[in-house]
Amino acid sequence: MPARTDRVDAIVSAPTPPAPALLARESLTLPNLISAARLAGVPVFLWLLLGPRADGWALALLALSGITDWADGVLARKLNQTSRLGALLDPAVDRLYILASLLGLTLRHIIPVWLAVVLILRDLVLATTLPALRRRGLTGLPVHYLGKAATFALLYAFPLLLLGSHHGRISSVAKPIAWAFTLWGAGLYLWAGGLYLLQFRRVLREPPVRARPA
């Protein structure tokens, strides 16, 4: 019986851990510093939403985060500075901005509680698969393009929802566009989560991947 060849496309294997000095040098790159700055902006963004309710500054920070998210990916490729830390940090920061936006918009009564609960539960369910993956020598599963599209839609929806919560002509135009992005993004987010779980089930049927010796 021939060996299965589609396994490589379904998983990300855990490589041999690099030496600490090499790992530190690999992590101290311009793209990773940009991602770290984006991470530091998450609590500031949430404070702007819930503290002084400085929506203009919150929108500016969210827009800046989106621009720098694009920039760090471009720089990583241009400068050949892709790293394991960057591959983990970049999507994690996106998830934290989504979580902060859901929390802030829910507490501001801009979105219904059920929407925030559904999207947060999706991430919590997927998080429960990580221990099983690590026990099998894996660091994670590939990000599906539907997941990227969902994140893109939601990160566009949230600032538009915030803008649409105010009064005026611009807000009245932004609100229906915001809800279109929200519903499409939420649907794609759940769909991508379902595909991830199917990948996870397939991986569990495979023999464990062992780390290569140094």
4 has pLDDT over 60: no
119-151 pLDDT per residue, tens: 999 999 998 988 888 888 776 777 778 888 998
135-192 pLDDT per residue, tens: 887 767 777 788 889 988 998 899 899 989 888 888 899 999 999 999 999 999 999 9
Give the start-to-end residue ranges of the domains of the chain.
18-90, 110-208
Residue 106: CB atoms within 10 Å: 17
24-60 pLDDT per residue, tens: 556 678 888 888 899 999 999 999 999 988 999 998 9
CA 2 vs CA 5, 6, 178, 201, 206: distances in Å: 9, 12, 50, 21, 14
Segment 5-21 shows an average pLDDT of 46
User: Alpha-carbon distance 196 to 208, whole Å?
Assistant: 18
Residue 12 pLDDT: 47
For the chain, what is the mean pLDDT? 82
